[in-house]
Amino acid sequence: MPDIEAPDTSEPKGAKYILTCLGIGLLAGLLSGLFGVGGGTVIVPLLVLVLAYNQRLAAGTSLAAIIPIASVGVISYAIHGSVAWIPGLILAAGAVVGAQIGTWLLPRVPLAALRWSFIGFLVVVIVSLFIVVPSRDAGLPLNAFTIAGLVVLGVATGTVAGLIGVGGGIVVVPALMLLFGTSDLIAKGTSLLMMIPTAISGTVGNLRRGNVDLLAAALIGIAACTTTALGAWLATVVDPFWGNVLFATFLTFIAVQLGVRTVRERRA
């Protein structure tokens, strides 16, 4: 399906444009802080549906907006001691490599098959979240096994992001909780840390290709910064079980969204 033409970014922006960007930012920031995700799963579809951005411009703008969102999120979680700094940087390094693998594989693998496989992965995660409830006291100690596992997870996360454009937090947060036994708070704070260098790297490339609306990214990012800390605070006061329920609900929304998009594109 051809991309919808994006609005002319050289024209003066009206009230609808500004209010829409601010509203998207407020929602994205809250979800980012609460679930440890970048917010791209909210930003991209709303930019496409409400402001008629094409997919590339929406994705590039979202990635730029994630830089301040994730930065504020990391600070908010760090205040509570819920960021594993070195593991987060290991994940980021792996994700940068994985993103290149994903973009290389993208034209070689059927997109529909990739999306349905990822939806299947989300279903498994959703079910697991009701079985395994993380302990708030669990950390993320580093040893040879966990370092190797983090590298593999980072590469896998970057590959998935490069293939289907889904933010890394959706993969990293449940993986850290379910596979590494990490507390939900440390998983979220570390996920946000991983996103910062990854988003910066991607934004540099998108700027060179003209796939970023800097004004929209700034408006969304600034608005999101006002609610990200609130989301992070809510994550600390919500019981881990109910935190899992909320995260499972969010993942269900993402899975349904991907499924509907895949079916529509196949029919078109």
Packing angle of the helix pair 240-267, 40-51 (nearest 10 deg):
40
DSSP string, 119-161: HHHHHHHHHHHTT----TT------HHHHHHHHHHHHHHHHHH
Closest CA to 24 of 35, 32, 12: 32
How would you label 197-206 residue by residue, b for 16+ Cβ within 10 Å and e otherwise? bbbbbbbeeb
For each of the chain's 268 residues, which pLDDT tens digit applies? 444 444 444 455 788 899 999 999 999 999 999 998 878 778 888 898 888 888 778 888 988 999 999 999 999 999 989 999 999 999 999 988 888 887 787 678 786 787 788 788 888 888 888 887 777 888 888 999 999 999 999 998 888 877 766 667 888 998 999 889 899 999 999 999 998 988 888 888 788 888 899 999 999 999 999 999 999 999 999 988 898 899 889 889 888 887 887 788 788 7
pLDDT at 106: 67
pLDDT at 75: 95
As a whole number of Å, the end-to-end CA separation of the chain is 7
**Positive or negative: CA dihedral 36, 41, 44, 45:** negative
Hey, how many other C-beta atoms are within 10 angstroms of the C-beta on 161? 26
Residue 2: DSSP 8-state: P
User: Residue 143, Cα to own-chain centre: how many angstroms?
Assistant: 27
- Long-range interactions of 138-141: CB distance < 8 A, separation 24+: 138/181, 138/182, 138/183, 138/186, 139/84, 139/182, 139/183, 139/186, 140/84, 140/87, 140/176, 140/180, 140/182, 140/186, 140/190
pLDDT at 3: 45
pTM, 2 dp: 0.83
pLDDT at 165: 62
Tokens of 124: 């498994």
Cβ contact 193:53 at 8 Å: no
